Amino acid sequence: MRTGIATVCLSGTLEDKLAAAAHAGFDGVEVFEPDLIGSRLSPSEIRIQAAELGLSIDLYQPFRDFEGVPNRQLERNLRRAEAKFDVVEALGADTMLVCSNVSDETIDDDGLAAQQLHALADRAAERGIRVAYEALAWGRRVSEYDHAWRIVQAVDHPALGICLDSFHILSRGTNLAAIADIPADKLFFVQLADAPHLVMDVLQWSRHYRSFPGQGGFDLSDFTARVLDAGYAGPLSLEVFNDVFRQADPRRMAIDAMRSLLTLEESVRAGSSRRLPPPASLHGYAFVELAVDPASVGETQRLMHAMGFAQTAQHRSKPVALWQQRDARILLNAGAPTAPGIAAIAVESADPGRSAARAEALLAPVLSRQRGPDEADLSAIAAPDGTSVFFCRTDERSDMRGWLQDFDPLSPIGRAASTGLTHIDHVALAQPFDYFDEAALFYRSMLGLEPRESLELAAPDGLVRSRAVTTADGRVRLVLTVPVLAHDAAQAGGLQHVAVACGDIFLVAQRMRERGVGPLSIPDNYYDDLAARLDLEPDLIELMREHDVLYDRARGGEFLHFYTPTVGERLFFEVVERRGDYDGYGAANAPVRMTAQRAPATATEAAFAHERAQATPAEREGDGAYNAA
Ligand code: MG
Ligand code: MG
C-alpha cells in the first residue's frame, strides 16, 4: 500500500508541508493548487524539493468547473486546462484531478459532459497526463460517484478515469456496491477522509470537519476494502480539510495522519498488516502514577487512606510510594517533573515487548527513562497529552524482574482495613483542545482499544465532549474529555479522575465517611428526579441519598458510583460498582458531578478547597522521579 497526503491537510508553507509529510514517512503528496500558487518555489523547484525528500507528486488538484458548459466556452476551458497541464508536467506528476462542475449554469446533459471531457482527455493524452474525474458531493449535476462513472464509461478514453473520495461518497450515503464494477485501470485515484456524523450543509461539513480515518464516524475500512478489492493499486491518499488541523504543528499532524493510515491498513487486512505487530492482549491497569506537588501530598495521602489504600512499598531510588488495595495500585510521585495530576498509566500486557514494538511502529515517541543499575527496564511511550504509557506485567509471586521489584515492601503494621476496592475500573484524562482527535486515535491504536460513542456533556462552565475507548472485555477503559470550544482555564472539563471498582458501593462510602473523607455531596434534587424518572425501590433511593451515590442503568445492567473531593489542582477519584452488563460511565450524571465540584458543600470539601487556596506553590524537585526522562 502506497501512502499519500494532500498538502491541504497540513499547516505552514509548501516547504513545511513537504518536510512534514516526508518526516512522517509518506510515499507521496497531492499538491493542492492554492499551496502552489502561494509558494515562491516554481513548479520544477517543487519537483526537485519533493524528490530530495523522497516524495513523489501523485496528483495536482483541483481543476474546477470544466464539464457541462455551453460549447462556446469549451475552447476557453481547454486553454485553462493546457496551462495547468504545464504545471502538472513541471511538477513531474502524471495525474490531474477534475471535480464535477458546481456552477448554477451547468447544463444537465451527460452526453455534453462526456463530449467535453473527451476533448479534455485528448489534450491530456498528448502530454502523457491522466485526468481523474471526481464527483463532488455538492456538484451541480454530478454529485454521486456512480454517475461520474457512467460519464467516464461513455467517454471511454484511456486518459480519463475516476477519483473516488470517501468523504463525497460516505457523506451522501451512496450505495458502495458499484465500486466493484469499476475496472482497476479506470480507478485513477483514491482520497480518504473521515468525518463525524453531523447534520449540516455538506460543503461546510467537508471544508471544516473532515478528519483522518478512524477519527470520525464513517466506515473507512469497508470503503477501503472495496476499493482494494476492485484492484486499485495507487496510493491511498489523505485529503482532509479541518479547522483545527490547519492551525496545528504540521509535523505532529503528519504523524497523526500516517498513524491513521497504518491503523486503517491493519483493519482492512484483518490484522495481517505488514508493518504493525498486532496488539498484545491487555488485562487491566497495572498502576496509575500520580504526580503530587508538595502542597497537596498531605491531602492526597489523607484521601487515599480514607479510601482504604495502604502504602505497601517505597521505590528504592525515587520519591515514589506504592499505595495498594487488592489489584488497585496507585503510585504517588512527589518528585515528578510533570504538572500535578495523572503522570502515567500502566497497562498489564501479555507481551510488553510486543506492545512497545507496536507503539514504535505507530510512530509513538518512546521515552528513555533514568533508572538504577538493577532496576526494571520498563517500556514507556509519551501520549499526545503528555501522559506516559507503560506496558508491563505485574506478577507479585514470580521472580521475574517486573516493575514491583524496584520497590521495597513496607512493614504491614498499623495498616487500615480495606474498604473493598478491587481494581482500577477506568481512567479519565482531560485533553488539550487541539489534540483531542489525535489523542483518541493514539490511545486506540497503541493499545488496540475500541471506540465507544462520543458524547457532549453540559458542565457549568461549558460543554465537554467525552469519548471512551476500551478493550472488548472492558478490562482497560479510558475516557477522554475535551471542552467543545477552546478556552484557557482548566475548569470542570480539565479535571482528571481515576475510577476504582468495588463490590459494595455503600460499604465503601460508609467506611470512607468513618475515616473522615466522605463522597462529594450530591443535591437532594438529584434524588427527587431519580425517584420521578425510574421506578426504583424507595429504600434504595434513600440509601443513595444518604451516601451521595449516583445511579444509571442501561442494557439491563446498573451503575452505582460516587466521587471524592478534588485533591491538588485537578484530580479526584471515583468509586464504581457495575452490576450486570452495564458498559458505560454514568455520563448522564456527569453534569451533576461537575456542578457539585464547583461549590464545596461539606466541611471536608471546604477544608480541601481551603488547603488548596493556602498552599504556596513549592518548587518541584525535578529529577529523581519514577517517570523522569
Ligand atoms: Mg477530493
Ligand atoms: Mg468516570
**d(CA 447, ligand 1 centre) in Å:** 31
**Contacts of 506 by beta carbon, 8 Å cutoff, 6+ apart:** 543, 547, 549
**d(CA 444, ligand 2 centre) in Å:** 18
**d(CA 192, ligand 1 centre) in Å:** 8
Cα dihedral 158→164→169→171 (10° resolution): -140
Look at residues 89, 68, 195, 58 and name the one whose alpha carbon lies nearest to residue 142. Answer: 68
Mean pLDDT computed over every residue of the chain: 90
**d(CA 500, ligand 2 centre) in Å:** 9
pLDDT for res 273: 59
Query: pLDDT at residue 626 above 60?
Result: no
**d(CA 162, ligand 2 centre) in Å:** 47
Q: What is the mean pLDDT of residues 29-53?
A: 97
**d(CA 576, ligand 2 centre) in Å:** 8
Q: Note the ligand closest to the C-alpha atom of 206.
A: 1
pLDDT (tens digit per residue) in 354-413: 999 999 999 999 887 667 777 777 778 999 988 999 999 887 665 555 788 889 988 766
**d(CA 586, ligand 2 centre) in Å:** 7
What are the grid coordinates assigned to 483, written together? Answer: 471542552
The CATH class for the domain spanning 282-619 reads alpha beta
pLDDT (tens digit per residue) in 253-305: 999 999 999 999 999 976 555 688 999 999 999 999 999 988 889 999 999 99
CA distance 536 to 540: 7
CB 333 within 8 A of CB 290: yes
**d(CA 545, ligand 2 centre) in Å:** 19
**d(CA 574, ligand 2 centre) in Å:** 6
Strand partners, 468: 479
What percent of the chain has a predicted confidence (pLDDT) above 70?
A: 92
Q: Note the ligand closest to the C-alpha atom of 573.
A: 2
Q: What is the mean pLDDT of residues 3-16?
A: 96
Q: Which residue spans of the chain are classified as CATH 3.20.20.150?
A: 3-268
Q: Note the ligand closest to the C-alpha atom of 425.
A: 2
CB 55 within 8 A of CB 28: yes
pLDDT (tens digit per residue) in 107-128: 999 999 999 999 999 999 999 9
Query: pLDDT at residue 227 above 70?
Result: yes
**d(CA 384, ligand 2 centre) in Å:** 21
**d(CA 134, ligand 1 centre) in Å:** 7
CB 43 within 8 A of CB 36: yes
Q: Note the ligand closest to the C-alpha atom of 167.
A: 1
pLDDT for res 617: 42
pLDDT (tens digit per residue) in 319-337: 999 999 999 999 999 987 7
Model confidence band, residue 609 (pLDDT cutoffs 50, 70, 90):
low
Q: Which residue spans of the chain are classified as CATH 3.10.180.10?
A: 282-619
pLDDT for res 623: 32
pLDDT (tens digit per residue) in 134-179: 999 999 999 999 999 999 999 999 999 999 999 999 999 999 999 9
Query: pLDDT at residue 489 above 60?
Result: no
Query: Which CATH number does 3-268 carry?
Result: 3.20.20.150
Query: pLDDT at residue 26 above 90?
Result: yes
Render the burial of 578-596: b for 16+ CB within 10 Å, e for the rest: beeebebbbbbbbbbbbbb
Cβ of 507: how many Cβ atoms within 10 Å? 14
> Helices 43-52 and 14-23 meet at what angle, rounded to 10?
20
Query: pLDDT at residue 491 above 70?
Result: no
**Contacts of 624 by beta carbon, 8 Å cutoff, 6+ apart:** 317, 318, 319, 335
Q: What is the mean pLDDT of residues 566-590?
A: 93
pTM, to two decimals: 0.88
pLDDT for res 616: 45
pLDDT for res 619: 34
pLDDT for res 397: 61
Strand partners, 288: 330, 345
**d(CA 526, ligand 2 centre) in Å:** 18
Cis amide linkage into residue 352, ω under 30° from 0: no
